[in-house]
Amino acid sequence: MDITKRPRRLRSDGVRPLVSESSLSPADLIAPVFVDATTEERVPIESMPGHERVPVEGIADRVEEVRETGVEAVMLFGIPEEKDERGTRAWADEGVIQRALRRITDETDAYVITDLCFCEYTDHGHCGILEEEAKEDPRQTVDNDATLELIERTAISQAEAGADMIAPSGMMDGMVGVMRDALDRENLTEVPIMSYAVKYESAFYGPFRDAADGAPAFGDRRHYQMDPGNRREAIREAKLDVEQGADVLMVKPALPYLDVVRDVRENTDLPVATYNVSGEYAMLHAAADRGWLDIEETARESLLSMKRAGADLILTYFAESVAKQLSAGRRM
């Protein structure tokens, strides 16, 4: 046999790292952290093994635990002490996120990103102010334009409390534009916006809604989150957010939408993030618990697929465990 083209030549241990097309680093990862104003001790999240709700008083220690793994960025999600129809605790000066931000910035050097949405703060679990008959009429939903005013208030409140970056996730039309205008008006021009630009109405969010107590009390979110069958729409959404002043674009979820991650990557020069969501995390743990797969190997491979698809940043519940593996010298 005369085989002149042998791709295996570049797969030996010495050369394999030199020709690797994609790689993971702890610097690529963002760790989600849940801060809970209703508890005085850490509360394990049953559907998300290894994760907990953390009291405000212990949030700086929790963030330092993340940083010890080599991950420098965290995203905060808050569980407030009380909820109401408008989600007013989202922008309160003494709200759970605002209090947590002040503690983290005073006591750590972490880079802190805040999720901006109202599903954790409203008593109905939807992502903004409801239209008048929404509870009775399935054709009605969140009032987009009325919710924009609340987004402005919350963005300013989070930035003034110390957020390094703000990530609006409610999928309201115009949310990035009103945030950018509000932040600039308040001389908060240096605070970047990571927009959940492409967020699908997904079945993979279940464990998060348990963790953040943010499930809708009625109906669903199909009127404001994207149809999972739509691909071209993702590019329209991303381009609109770029025009409005987004600094980073996110695709959520990650694994079922790697084609969309690639599309967004090819249509923008902004950094692209993806959210390796709670359902993706939980299903790997469930399979590993049955001995069907190796959790460390599959976690690293999953995150690497996101980098290969074009993600620059990955928000993932595997951040700490994968960072530890990478620091120990384990590679794909």
Catalytic residues: 199, 252
- Asked if residue 24 lies in contact with residue 303, where contact means CB atoms within 8 angstroms, the answer is yes
Contacts 24+ apart (CB under 8 A), 63-66: 63/33, 63/104, 63/108, 63/110, 63/112, 64/107, 64/108, 64/110, 65/320, 66/31, 66/33, 66/110, 66/319, 66/320
CA triple 307-170-299, angle to 5 deg: 30
- Asked if residue 197 lies in contact with residue 250, where contact means CB atoms within 8 angstroms, the answer is yes
321 Cβ contact list (under 8 Å, min separation 6): 50, 296, 299
Residue 190 burial (C-beta neighbours within 10 Å; 0-12, 13-18, 19+): exposed
Dihedral angle computed from the Cα positions of residues 223, 125, 62 and 328, in that order, rounded to the nearest 10 degrees: -40
Distance CA 203, CA 147 (A): 24
Query: What would you report as the CA-atom Rg of the chain, rounded to the nearest whole angstrom?
Result: 20
